Each structure stands twice: as C-alpha cells, then as structure tokens.
Amino acid sequence: MTDSDRRQFLSQAGGTLAAFAFQPDLAARRGLAGRDEPLPVALVGAGRQGRAILGELQKLEGARVVAVCDVLAGRLRSGLRRAQGARGYEDHRKLLEELGDAVDSVIVATPTHLHREVVIDALEAGKNVYCEAPLAHTTEDARAIAAAARAAGGVFATGLQGRSNPVYQLARSFYRSGCVRDLASMRAQDFKKQSWRTPASNPADEAALNWRLDPAISPGLPGELGTQQFDVFHYYRGEYPVSVRGRGGVFVHRDGREVPDTVTCELGFADGTSLFWEACLGNSYQGRYELLSGSMAAIKLAWSHAWMFKEADAPTQGWEVYANRQTFHNDEGITLIADATQLASQGKLKEGVGLPHAPLHYALEDYLVAAAGGGEPACGAAEGLRATVVGLLAQRAVTSGEEQAIDPALFEIG
C-alpha cells in the first residue's frame, strides 16, 4: 500500500477503525445450516489429511459425506469408519460414474502427484472441486488443473487455509490499514518433529505411503509446507516474489532418504524486501508462524492465533484499551481476536483467544458455502496456481543449489 493509499484509507475509516479492526465476526460467518438437503460430498484420498478432512466435515451442518475413495484398502476402511453410511471406492472414476448427480462436491486429498487426474476427471464430470495444496508436483500439472477449473465454470477451491482463516482475515485488515507502516522484514517457519516416513504393514504399499520421500515426485518441504505459508504473504501484500534461493540437507533422519529434512529459503520481492523461510522435521520449537515487521508494528501469525506488537512511537487508535495482551519475554503483544467487540461487551475477551476450530475447518466451510450457493471461494485456482509455482520453484532452488527466477508467465492460466 502506498503512502497516499494509506492516508486515503485512514481518512475514510478513521471514525470506524475500532469497529472494522475486530472483524470478521465468527458468529456472522455464512453457514450451511438451513438447506433443505445436505450437500452431498465425496472424498478422494483417505490418508492423514483426508481423515482430518472427514473429522472437520462432521462438524459442519448442511454437508454429508456420501462416498470415500482410496486405492489402499486399509486407508479406505479407516476413512469409511469416519464417514458412517458412505460408500467406498478404490477407483475415483467408478465413483463418479456410479454416483453421478448423487455427488455435488469432490474433495481431493490424494498424494500431490496424483491430483491432476482426479481433479480434471471430477471437473469434467460437472462437480465442484476442493483440491488440497499444493495443486500439483509440477508446474505443468498445476497449470493444467487451473486451466481445467476455469473451463469447467463450477466452484473450484484450493486448500490454502490462510485466506479463509478468521484470525488471518482480521490481522490482514490491520496490515492493509497501514498499522505495520513501512514493511522491513518477513520471516516464517514450519518446525515439527516428525519423520515423514510411514511404516507399511504390506511391503507393496511402501512406495505409495512414502511418496513424499521419493525425490522424483515429492515437492519437498518448500512445496508441501511452504506453499501454504508463502501464500499468506501473497494474500497480505498482493504481490509475489520474483526470485528464490534455497539450501537444505538431511541432518536428522539419516535413514537413506534423499529429500531434505531441513531447508532454508530466501524469497526476493521486486521492492527489494525478502521473505526468509525455514522448515525442519527434526525440531518443534516455535512450530509454524509468519511474521511481518514494519516501522510501526509487527504482526505475528500462528494459524490459530495472531498478535500485533506495536512500536513505542506508534499512534494509538482507541480500540487498544479493549484489547487482550500477552507478554513474550520483553515484548507485549495485542491478541487479535475475532468476535472481539461482542466478547468485550460481555466481559469474555480472553475466552475468544484462539480459533475454536482448526484452520482446515474454515477452508472447508468456505468452499462448501461457495459450492452450495455458487459463490467465489476464498482461494480459487488462480491463487492456488501462483502459490504452487512459488513452492515448486523454492524446492528446485533447494535441490539445485541455484537461484531461481520466478517468471510471471508461469502464474498465467493457459
């Protein structure tokens, strides 16, 4: 946002800044309840992410899982236990053929390298589609998916969760209002101690279960994890990086794998600023977060929570007197809370700290509401393509050891 844009925004919104700053209101979110019939949904891919999706769908009124599909019998059985009454399939094409109009929406949570076929088949069958991020393991496949989504004309959502996250939407309203002022630094990380290796009771399933450790098809840490976080900065800034450098290695899980378990990337933007991103499968300290720091404040995002750390010389805007605060060593952060206005009036502000559901819940809710009403989801194919391209080029930078220029032409849907 330029200085003139910022002044214009603040002059228009100055009298109501306290009101909009506490939006969005969770209680006012569009719901699925009230439909005459639940929206029939099919899930393709019942692995770890697919099972998490089933868990969140159970909490959403107005949607019903009618089918679960997975090529591995064990995962299919596990998925069906979580979706009582759903029909099971090992082939998504048979699901689409047999159920026809009995399915409105298809949620694709297969391994990333299998997205393209499933997504395009579902789109060509006239279904609304939600595809987990990243869209694909190659830029070619990602662009093919985006092109098919545009041609199909239905609702297509990419599972980039930051754009539908109520706390992230709230924090973005602060950022876009100019509260951070001159952006100087961006940092992010995703640290979680896990191996990425899944033991297989059946040796024949070993490769299918551990696809993320196969360098021929794995998007690596930048693709699988970084894509989500890179998109947060795209969402806040409305800009995309123009280059990326990276490095990494296997420093913890020395089990013969070739895909790095620890990486560091630097994404450069046209204005000279950089985003420094790290991921590690060998340590959990500070988990997953994004940080935007400027001359007047820093905003830290941690998926279920967000905070603003104001500089001593930052102007006050009135709403701060109602804010909940948390201390982090020598810094005091203002907790950004959706529903804060209502909670403050009830004396329950601290009860609103953190989201009541996982970020995945709001991404699915946003998609299903769009599918039910024909609206636009928070993250469609175009933004999904851009974030996927950035994630894949970051992975290429890590594996090649060479800086990658990010050609804007790759963001265009062919």
**What pLDDT, in 10s, does the model give residues 16-58?**
333 334 444 444 455 565 567 899 999 999 999 999 999 999 9
Predicted pLDDT of residue 326:
86
User: Which class is domain 27-162?
Assistant: alpha beta
Cα–Cα distance between 310 and 179 in angstroms, integer?
A: 8
pTM to 2 decimals? 0.90
Predicted pLDDT of residue 343:
45
**What pLDDT, in 10s, does the model give residues 341-373?**
554 444 544 555 788 999 999 999 999 999 999
Average pLDDT of the segment spanning 105-110: 98
% of the chain beyond a pLDDT of 70: 87
Predicted pLDDT of residue 340:
53
Predicted pLDDT of residue 346:
45
The CA–CA distances, whole Å, from 83 to 36, 57, 69 equal 21, 9, 11
Query: What is the C-alpha end-to-end distance of the chain, expressed in Å?
Result: 29
Average pLDDT of the segment spanning 69-87: 96
For residue 59, pLDDT over 50 is answered with yes
Predicted pLDDT of residue 120:
98
Average pLDDT of the segment spanning 246-255: 98
- Within 8 A by CB and 6+ apart from 80, the residues are 68, 86, 88
Residue extent(s) of CATH 3.40.50.720 domains in the chain? 27-162
Predicted pLDDT of residue 22:
41
Predicted pLDDT of residue 153:
86
Predicted pLDDT of residue 323:
75
- Within 8 A by CB and 6+ apart from 266, the residues are 244, 245, 246, 274, 275, 276, 277
Query: Lowest-pLDDT range, 117-126, 143-152, 200-209, 334-343?
Result: 334-343
Predicted pLDDT of residue 316:
83
**What pLDDT, in 10s, does the model give residues 373-386?**
978 999 999 999 99
The average confidence (pLDDT) of the chain is 89
CA angle 7, 9, 14 (to 5 degrees): 95
% of the chain beyond a pLDDT of 90: 77
- SS3 helix, strand, coil % of the chain, rounded to 5? 45, 20, 35
Question: Are 136 and 388 contacting, i.e. CB atoms less than 8 angstroms apart?
Answer: yes
Average pLDDT of the segment spanning 198-202: 87
**Looking at domain 165-357+388-404, what is its CATH homologous superfamily?**
Dihydrodipicolinate Reductase; domain 2 (3.30.360.10)
Query: Lowest-pLDDT range, 5-14, 99-108, 158-167, 293-302?
Result: 5-14
Predicted pLDDT of residue 414:
75
Which region, left, alpha or beta, applies to residue 175 given φ > 0 means left and ψ of -120 to 50 means alpha?
A: alpha
Predicted pLDDT of residue 151:
97
**What pLDDT, in 10s, does the model give residues 285-341?**
999 999 999 999 999 999 999 999 999 999 887 767 667 788 888 888 888 876 655
Predicted pLDDT of residue 296:
97
Please list the residues that pair with 42 across neighbouring strands. Answer: 67, 106
Residue extent(s) of CATH 3.30.360.10 domains in the chain? 165-357+388-404
